[in-house]
Amino acid sequence: MFTGLIETTGKILSVEERTGARRIAVSAPHLAERLHTGDSVAVSGTCLTALDISTDPPVFYADLAAETVARTSLASLKAGTVVNLELPTPAGTPLGGHVVQGHVDATGTLIGLEPASPDADRSQTDWWLQVAIPESVGRYVVEKGSIAIEGISLTVAKFDGKTVTVAVIPHTYAQTNLHALKAGDPVNLEADVMMKFFEERQKKAEPEFELTLDYLIANGY
């Protein structure tokens, strides 16, 4: 489980086509030294398995299954692409963002990322991020609710049924891959798992069901 609070960014060093899978090499300063073979790591919001880890230079590899390539923005990776990186949240750690599984639902399309104050210093202004999202994700989106975009935990400011608008603070803009994206780029989307959970419970219509902390823990949330 992740929280959508990006620890650092990395850079794609290579993309290798292999029989049955695609392998990527990721430069990961400040993070590779904490990885062990088989560990999970979120790459732009996609949960992958770290392989062939090196600390000098700080690099890890990961294999992309056909499903991952088909469903996520990782399909468009190339050498030099900046990606967001996050390690799983240790048990007992405060959840500063929201529950992010690293299971990408679909990709959206970046419409725009504009400074809230065009005349302000770009390192000090907030930004408005707009992303066109498919209906399969939109059904779980509500204003002031959570959504993970490229693995980043963000709060929905506006939603018109097709486009999500979120406010991005200067720190998030500078410390994630958002500043490297451009209009038209695909971005990974993961809807709030709690919204999916509520939908599932409504379908089952369990009588007198009560959402409690004990229930969430028992079911892996």
Of 42, 47, 106, 148, which is the active-site residue?
Answer: 47
Of 2, 44, 89, 153, which is the active-site residue?
Answer: 2
Of 55, 65, 93, 136, which is the active-site residue?
Answer: 65
- AA identity, residue 23: R
Of 8, 14, 40, 109, which is the active-site residue?
Answer: 40
Catalytic site residue 155? yes
Of 103, 157, 163, 167, which is the active-site residue?
Answer: 103
Catalytic site residue 19? no
Of 37, 49, 76, 136, which is the active-site residue?
Answer: 49
Q: Contacts for 80-83 with beta carbons within 8 Å, 24 or more apart?
A: 80/11, 80/12, 81/11, 81/12, 81/180, 82/9, 82/10, 82/11, 82/177, 82/180, 83/9, 83/10, 83/11, 83/12, 83/26, 83/43, 83/44, 83/177
Catalytic site residue 40? yes
Residues 178 and 152 sit within 8 Å (Cβ to Cβ): yes
Q: Give start and end residues of each alpha helix (H) in 59-206.
A: 66-71, 135-138, 170-175, 193-204
Catalytic site residue 8? no
Of 155, 180, 198, 209, which is the active-site residue?
Answer: 155
Catalytic site residue 2? yes
Q: What residues are labeled active site?
A: 2, 40, 47, 49, 65, 103, 155
